[in-house]
Amino acid sequence: MSKTDRLTRENQSLAKRTWGAELKGTRLNTLIALSAQYGFSIALGDLILLNGKWYVTHAGLLRLACRTRCAGIRVQQVSEFCDVPDRHWVFKATVFKSPGSYGFVGYPTQPPFHLACSKFEDKCTVRYLFR
C-alpha cells in the first residue's frame, strides 16, 4: 500500500469517527481528493470540517508550503468581511513559490463566509475553504 493510500484511509477513518453523520457523499470524496493531491492529514490537524466544508488550518498550510518548497506564505485579515463583535473572521493567504515571485492568492470561494472563533478557541489564525 502506498503512502498516499495509507494517508487517505487514515483520514477517512478518523473523519468518520470525528464527524460521523456529517461525512457523506461529496464531503468524503473531497476528503479523499485533498488527501491524495495535497497530503493533508486530519490527525496532524491539517484539515477540519466546518459547516459541511473542508478547511485547511494554518498548520496545514505550513506543512504544504514545506512539502512544496514554497518561499513563504503571507496571511492577511479581510476586514470588510469580518465581524469583530460576533468574533467572525475571514482571511486570505498569499503563497510565494520563490523569493522574487508575486505569489498567488487564496480566498474563500463564497465570500463573505463567517467563521465562528468561539468554536475553535484561539485557533483562528487562518482557514482556507475547499469546496
Q: Grade residue 116 by pLDDT with cuts at 50, 70 and 90.
A: very low
The three-class DSSP label of residue 56 is strand
pLDDT of 118 above 80: no
Select the highest-mean-pLDDT range: 23-32, 64-73, 119-128: 23-32
- The DSSP H or E segment spanning 131 is none
Convert the pLDDT of each residue in 51-92 to its tens digit.
Answer: 888 888 888 888 888 888 888 888 888 888 777 887 777 778
The three-class DSSP label of residue 42 is coil
Q: Do 74 and 96 touch, CB atoms closer than 8 A?
A: yes
Which grid cell is 74?
503571507
Whether pTM > 0.85 for this model: the answer is no
